């Protein structure tokens, strides 16, 4: 459980902390930036925990020192350490209230706009996985960006009680520890056990969210079983019942025998079977046979018989009728007749039903009740003894499996509570523009589902959850004991009064029995956007932050959660619950496989953040509930993918890596190696700021902006302006990968590779000008460097909150600010309107062409011998800095002769021309197929024509410009 830490600011220095620094800081300073691999003798988890606790104790002993003294007396570690950087910031942010919307009024750059969203409430049962981490990374980046823009931001945390999942976990725990099942307790006793487990384990997920740096307002945290939320659930049920949108009826539900409850569609997985397959089923020692079709006979009166085929022969014990299609010519003469049950001797009517598939089996369907697999073999044996068995054959099928228990789902007719979705979905099928769905291609699917939605079963036969506020009515002296009579109410007293009015009797003559079932978890979570703000009460939060600005979630929840929130929100509040819906893709492993415990590819984000050994990864598999054979497969996969475990990457690197993928499209195949590369980028940032601080420490350098800037100073300011512009566009369109790409490119290539290298001679005082002129150049370079770094840190802050805060605080003593806004997370987000734009377009174009030629000619970075002449010879072997320096001269000539192998270049160019010709041929072949114009949609034909045109132009341009020039001018 996360413990609140009462500190004035992180790592504030005291005598105790100075002692801690002597241990931890020196260790960090002695590490090299490349030292990211685990040592040959890794410490055990217990040793690591002990050392971490000692470090935390030393750091947290520093209470009472002022914020301004935090970074002025501290040596800057030589290498970047995520553990060091990410330790104390979150506690300080939370203590200072930076994540609360009430902070808005204190910001000088505040604007009169709000931004609100709720986190998709994760199940209280478990821990976050990388899919949750992607949600957090995206939502936190948006929340932090809007907060820095001056919006009044509310990002609400919460957890879902997860009825089936939580009850299953607690039941397994009680059986393992005490050998007792749920039925061995009273309902009240069992619920006490669940609450005890929830209080012990449920807060772990909040700890993970804090470790991920999520800037949530924890003072408003919401749990779907909180008293206030329960009031909202009851109110919603009553209002929908009163309006006729909830009704009780007999309907077909997905029944899990292992859970003894109906379950929702989202909790049913379809397992495709190509033929005979033996599967393990909960509650059965032997595997059960599936994927076969059994045929047996029903004797008719006289000498005839009818053959019936089924994949479930055991259910014939409950047969009550035989159905055939009314148009099936094989059975026209059987309509209205009877056949005799082989075992019970009952006469079963033969009825007609157009729903019968004439092509399935024998075209005869029996109607039954439901039994289970323990009767299957006995039924087949008995049919053989009566000589009514007609054989079995391979039968491909789709088997419905309960995702919670692994049980085979049974379709069951049962009296339950249902929501009429047709009316609500018609209201929710809003006109274009009312609800913006991003990406837009989900809109058609969204509207199609809403126009074809079926009624929704909301009853669950569980004990953990919101007990349905409906009561069965029994009247004194009533002779009708078969028909059910129901009322509902916010309390038993209200329900009694309603019953008295409905049936015209004295309230004392009524006996009420509350429905023991609970509501589907999706029903309560569907109320989340407004119930979390205090609905049905008209609270200030509800007035300020509803509708939510946006909902961001995985695309797999578009119907099961998002559509239901829209329907319930529109019906109960008269408004859409949010203005925009942003769907992100699913996270898969590096091979593109869905993450599954049985595959061993489910990764805990904390393992990526802090690092984990292979032994610990495999220990987690053994601690789970996998089948022993699945455990072996999972552990073998871990050995292959993580032979040395997972190295420590840090929160910032993980978040940056997740946001660097295009989330609005194909699924994300995440590899740990990509996260590790982002960790190296973090170290690059660390080293850049170390260099900047060394520059700024010289007393002769100031940070005031100077108009007397060199070509390179103006160039880096131009690149910075362009980067800020890309960030603005990317955030506004929710294309976060374009933002991260722009920032990564600017920091590595523009700032480090080019600008830093170009100003090093200036900072060293090299040059033939006067000392005064060199001092002025150094001052300008230092000012521009500080400006570029500080703006870049602010741009990166929504993605890398810990590292950027650490580095920004290091630079804080050199700012012109009075220090009133003491955290980067509440600084204004940079705007292009506040930056000077200098765009040397010719320079950028020359450099682009130079890089292209260098790559095409496969030239090295080795410097050739060059003679200084009236015109500068351009060494393509050199780095980008040389290019930029040479561009400052009046003339430039390119010498490509030295080091070029003409024969090799001609061969490479010929290969490229052949590839272009092959692509063009393939594109043209598509357009020459028979009936191409009639069969192919307009959009596809247009795309193909564009592709052909592009290939033709590319081939012509390549032949004319590249081949001709290289072939002739190299001679």
Q: Is residue 849 part of a domain?
A: no
Query: Helix, strand, coil proportions of the chain in percent (round to 5)?
Result: 50, 15, 35
Instruction: Single out the residue in 821, 843, 865 at which a domain terminates.
Output: 843
Cis peptide before 536 (omega within 30 of 0): yes
**672 plus 819 within the same structural domain:** yes
Cβ atoms of 475 and 510 within 8 Å: the answer is: yes
Higher pLDDT, 867 or 772: 772
- Structural domain count of the chain: 4
Give backbone dihedrals phi and psi of 551, rounded to 5 degrees, phi first.
-115, 125
Going from the C-alpha of 962 to that of each of 856, 877, 959, the distances in angstroms are 10, 20, 6
Q: What is the β-pairing status of strands 409-419 and 397-402? A: unpaired
Q: Is residue 726 part of a domain?
A: yes
Q: Residue 210: pLDDT band by 50, 70, 90 thresholds?
A: very high
Q: Residue 622: pLDDT band by 50, 70, 90 thresholds?
A: confident
CB-based burial label for 170 (10 Å; 0-12, 13-18, 19+): buried
* Res 869 pLDDT > 90: no
Going from the C-alpha of 151 to that of each of 534, 739, 761, 823, the distances in angstroms are 22, 20, 43, 16
Q: What is the distance, to the nearest Å, from the Cα of residue 405 to the centroid of all Cα atoms in its chain?
A: 24
pLDDT at 67: 39
* Res 820 pLDDT > 70: no
Range of lowest pLDDT (206-220, 387-401, 694-708, 828-842): 694-708
Tokens (6 digits) for 19: 């002692």
Query: Nearest-CA neighbor of 825 among 847, 845, 803, 846?
Result: 803
CATH of the domain at 715: 1.10.730.10
CATH of the domain at 447: 3.40.50.620
Cα separation, 723 vs 729, whole angstroms: 10
Cβ atoms of 697 and 744 within 8 Å: the answer is: no
Q: Is residue 411 part of a domain?
A: no
Q: Residue 245: pLDDT band by 50, 70, 90 thresholds?
A: very high
pLDDT at 346: 79
**208 plus 302 within the same structural domain:** no
pLDDT at 48: 57
Q: Name the CA radius of gyration of the chain, rounded.
A: 35
* Res 302 pLDDT > 70: no
Say what angle helices 651-659 and 736-745 make with each other, to 10 degrees.
120
Range of lowest pLDDT (28-37, 155-164, 532-541): 28-37
pLDDT at 838: 61
Task: Label each residue of 539-607 as H, E or C.
Answer: CHHHHHHCCEEEEEEEHHHHHHHHHHHHHHHHHHHCCCCEEEEEEECCEECCCCCECCHHHCCCCCHHH
Cβ atoms of 114 and 151 within 8 Å: the answer is: yes
Q: What is the distance, to the nearest Å, from the Cα of residue 369 to the centroid of all Cα atoms in its chain?
A: 41
* Res 963 pLDDT > 60: no
Query: Nearest-CA neighbor of 342 among 373, 360, 366, 358?
Result: 366
Tokens (6 digits) for 770: 């006067």
Q: Dihedral (C-alpha) 494, 495, 496, 500: value to the nearest 10 degrees?
A: 100
Q: Residue 737: pLDDT band by 50, 70, 90 thresholds?
A: very high
Give backbone dihedrals phi and psi of 647, rounded to 5 degrees, phi first.
-70, 160
Residue 693: CB atoms within 10 A of its CB come to: 17
**933 plus 789 within the same structural domain:** no
**169 plus 241 within the same structural domain:** yes
**161 plus 235 within the same structural domain:** yes
Which residue has 């789902």 as its token pair?
Answer: 409
- 82-108, pLDDT tens digit by residue? 999 998 899 999 999 999 999 999 999
* Res 370 pLDDT > 50: no
CATH of the domain at 309: 3.90.740.10
Q: Is residue 60 part of a domain?
A: no
**391 plus 426 within the same structural domain:** no
Instruction: Single out the residue in 546, 568, 584 at which a domain terminates.
Output: 584
- 427-466, pLDDT tens digit by residue? 777 655 588 999 988 888 888 888 888 899 999 999 999 9
- 929-942, pLDDT tens digit by residue? 777 776 676 666 76
Q: Residue 368: pLDDT band by 50, 70, 90 thresholds?
A: very low
- 459-489, pLDDT tens digit by residue? 999 999 999 999 999 988 776 666 789 999 9
**391 plus 427 within the same structural domain:** no
Query: Nearest-CA neighbor of 567 among 240, 99, 185, 798?
Result: 240
* Res 757 pLDDT > 80: yes
Kindly state the DSSP code that residue 150 receives in the 8-state scheme.
T
Q: What's the predicted TM-score (pTM) here?
A: 0.77
**723 plus 834 within the same structural domain:** yes
b/e code 760-798 from CB counts within 10 Å (16+ = b): eebbeeeeeeeeeebeebbbbbbbbbbbbbbbbbbbbbb
Q: Is residue 4 part of a domain?
A: no
* Res 668 pLDDT > 70: yes
Cα separation, 533 vs 519, whole angstroms: 21
Higher pLDDT, 890 or 306: 306
Q: Which residues share a beta bridge with 117? A: 155
pLDDT at 53: 56
pLDDT at 495: 96
**543 plus 445 within the same structural domain:** yes
Mean local confidence (pLDDT), 692-705: 66
Kindly state the DSSP code that residue 410 receives in the 8-state scheme.
E
Residue 384: domain span? 292-395
Cα separation, 557 vs 597, whole angstroms: 21
Q: Is residue 630 part of a domain?
A: no
pLDDT at 35: 39
Q: Is residue 77 part of a domain?
A: no
In this structure, is the dihedral angle defined by the CA atoms of residues 262, 266, 272 and 278, taken in order, positive or negative?
negative
Higher pLDDT, 194 or 299: 194
**835 plus 915 within the same structural domain:** no
Cα separation, 936 vs 929, whole angstroms: 10
Q: Return the percentage of the chain with pLDDT > 90, whole number.
A: 38
* Res 801 pLDDT > 90: yes
Instruction: Single out the residue in 795, 810, 843 at which a domain terminates.
Output: 843
Higher pLDDT, 389 or 963: 389
pLDDT at 911: 81
pLDDT at 25: 44
Tokens (6 digits) for 967: 């072939």
**371 plus 441 within the same structural domain:** no
Q: Is residue 354 part of a domain?
A: yes
* Res 9 pLDDT > 70: no
pLDDT at 144: 98
Mean of the per-residue pLDDT values of the chain: 80
Q: Residue 511: pLDDT band by 50, 70, 90 thresholds?
A: very high
Q: Is 638 left (phi over 0), alpha (psi -120 to 50) or beta?
A: alpha
- Catalogue the E-assigned strands of 143-291: 152-156, 158-159, 222-223, 246-256, 261-263, 268-273, 277-279, 288-290
Task: Label each residue of 247-275 as H, E or C.
Answer: EEEEEEEEEECCCCEEECHHHEEEEEECC
**322 plus 449 within the same structural domain:** no
CB-based burial label for 246 (10 Å; 0-12, 13-18, 19+): buried
First to last CA, the chain: 74
* Res 299 pLDDT > 50: yes
Q: Residue 861: pLDDT band by 50, 70, 90 thresholds?
A: low
């Amino acid at each position: 459980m996360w413990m609140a830490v009462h500190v004035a600011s992180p790592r504030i220095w005291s005598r105790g902390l100075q002692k801690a620094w002597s241990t931890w800081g020196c260790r960090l300073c002695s590490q090299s930036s490349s030292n990211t691999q685990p040592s040959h003798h890794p410490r055990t988890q217990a040793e690591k925990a002990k050392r971490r606790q000692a470090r935390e104790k030393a750091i947290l002993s520093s209470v009472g020192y002022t914020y301004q003294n935090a970074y002025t007396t501290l040596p800057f570690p030589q290498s970047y350490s995520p553990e060091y950087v990410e330790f104390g910031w979150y506690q300080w942010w939370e203590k200072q209230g930076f994540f609360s919307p009430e902070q808005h009024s204190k910001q000088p750059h505040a604007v009169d706009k709000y931004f609100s969203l709720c986190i998709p409430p994760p199940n209280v049962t478990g821990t976050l996985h990388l899919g949750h981490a992607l949600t957090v990374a995206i939502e936190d980046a948006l929340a932090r960006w809007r907060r820095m823009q001056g919006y009044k931001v509310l990002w609400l945390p919460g957890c879902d009680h997860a009825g089936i999942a939580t009850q299953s976990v607690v039941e397994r725990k009680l059986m393992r520890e005490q050998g007792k099942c749920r039925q061995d307790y009273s309902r009240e006793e069992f619920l006490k056990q669940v609450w005890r487990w929830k209080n012990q384990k449920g807060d772990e997920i909040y700890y993970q969210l804090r470790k991920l740096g999520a800037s949530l307002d924890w003072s408003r945290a919401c749990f779907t079983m909180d008293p206030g939320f329960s009031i909202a659930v009851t109110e919603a049920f009553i209002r929908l019942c009163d309006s006729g949108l909830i009704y009780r009826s007999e309907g077909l539900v997905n029944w899990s025998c292992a859970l003894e409850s109906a379950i929702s569609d989202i909790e049913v997985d379809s397992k495709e079977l190509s033929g005979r397959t033996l599967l393990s089923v909960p509650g059965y020692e032997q595997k059960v046979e599936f994927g076969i079709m059994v045929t047996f006979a029903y004797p008719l009166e006289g000498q005839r018989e009818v053959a019936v085929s089924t994949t479930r022969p055991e259910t014939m014990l409950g047969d009550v009728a035989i159905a055939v299609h009314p148009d099936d010519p094989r059975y026209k003469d059987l309509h209205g007749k009877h056949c005799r049950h082989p075992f019970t001797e009952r006469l079963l009517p033969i009825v007609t039903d157009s729903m019968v598939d004439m092509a399935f089996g024998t075209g005869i369907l029996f109607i039954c009740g439901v039994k289970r697999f323990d009767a299957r073999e006995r039924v087949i044996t008995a049919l053989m003894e009566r000589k009514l068995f007609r054989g079995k054959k391979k039968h491909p099928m789709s088997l419905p499996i309960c995702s919670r228990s692994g049980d085979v789902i049974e379709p069951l007719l049962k009296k339950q509570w249902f929501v009429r979705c047709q009316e609500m979905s018609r209201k929710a099928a809003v006109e274009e523009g009312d609800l913006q769905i991003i990406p837009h291609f989900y809109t058609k699917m969204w509207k199609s589902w809403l126009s074809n939605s079926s009624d929704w079963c909301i009853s669950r036969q569980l004990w953990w959850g919101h007990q349905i506020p409906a009561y069965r009515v029994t009247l004194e002296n009533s002779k009708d004991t078969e028909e059910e009579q129901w009322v509902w109410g916010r309390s038993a007293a209200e329900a009694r009064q309603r019953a008295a009015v409905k049936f015209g009797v004295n309230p004392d003559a009524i006996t009420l029995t509350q429905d023991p079932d609970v509501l589907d978890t999706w029903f309560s979570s569907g109320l989340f956007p407004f119930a979390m703000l205090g609905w049905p009460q008209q609270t200030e939060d509800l007035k300020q932050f509803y509708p939510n600005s946006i909902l961001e979630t995985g695309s797999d929840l578009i119907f099961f959660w998002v559509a239901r929130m829209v329907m319930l929100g529109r019906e109960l509040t008269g408004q859409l619950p949010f203005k925009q819906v942003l769907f992100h893709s699913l996270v898969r492993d590096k091979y593109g496989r869905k993450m599954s415990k049985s595959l061993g590819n489910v990764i805990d984000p904390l393992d990526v953040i802090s690092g984990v050994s292979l032994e610990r990864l495999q220990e987690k598999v053994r601690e789970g509930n996998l089948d022993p054979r699945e455990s072996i497969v999972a552990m073998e996969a871990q050995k292959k993918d993580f032979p040395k475990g997972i190295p420590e990457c840090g929160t910032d690197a993980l978040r940056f890596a997740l946001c660097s993928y295009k989330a609005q499209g194909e699924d994300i195949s995440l590899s740990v190696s990509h996260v590790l590369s982002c960790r190296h980028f973090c170290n690059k940032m660390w080293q850049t700021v170390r260099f900047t601080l060394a520059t700024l420490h010289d007393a002769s350098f100031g940070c005031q902006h100077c108009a007397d800037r060199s070509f390179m100073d103006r160039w880096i300011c131009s690149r910075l302006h362009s980067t800020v512009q890309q960030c603005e566009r990317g955030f506004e369109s929710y294309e976060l990968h374009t933002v991260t790409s722009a920032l990564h490119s600017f920091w590595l290539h523009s700032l480090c590779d080019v600008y830093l290298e170009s100003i090093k001679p200036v900072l060293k005082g090299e040059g033939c000008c006067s000392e005064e002129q060199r001092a002025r150049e150094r001052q300008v370079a230092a000012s521009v460097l500080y400006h570029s770094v500080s703006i870049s840190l602010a741009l990166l802050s929504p993605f890398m909150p810990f590292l950027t805060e650490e580095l920004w605080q290091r630079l804080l003593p050199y700012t012109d600010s009075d220090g009133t806004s003491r955290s980067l997370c509440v600084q204004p987000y940079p705007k292009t309107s506040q930056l000077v734009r200098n765009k040397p377009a010719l320079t950028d174009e020359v450099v682009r062409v130079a890089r292209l030629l260098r790559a095409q000619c496969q030239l090295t970075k080795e410097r050739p011998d060059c003679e200084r002449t009236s015109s500068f010879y351009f060494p393509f072997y050199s780095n980008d800095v040389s290019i930029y320096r040479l561009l400052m001269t009046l003339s430039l000539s390119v010498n490509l002769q030295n080091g070029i192998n003409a024969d090799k270049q001609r061969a490479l160019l010929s290969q490229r021309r052949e590839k272009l010709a092959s692509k063009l041929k393939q594109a043209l072949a598509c357009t020459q197929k028979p009936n191409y114009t009639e069969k192919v949609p307009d959009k596809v034909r247009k795309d193909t024509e564009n592709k052909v045109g592009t290939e033709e132009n590319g081939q012509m341009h390549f032949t004319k410009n590249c081949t001709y020039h290289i072939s002739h001018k190299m001679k």
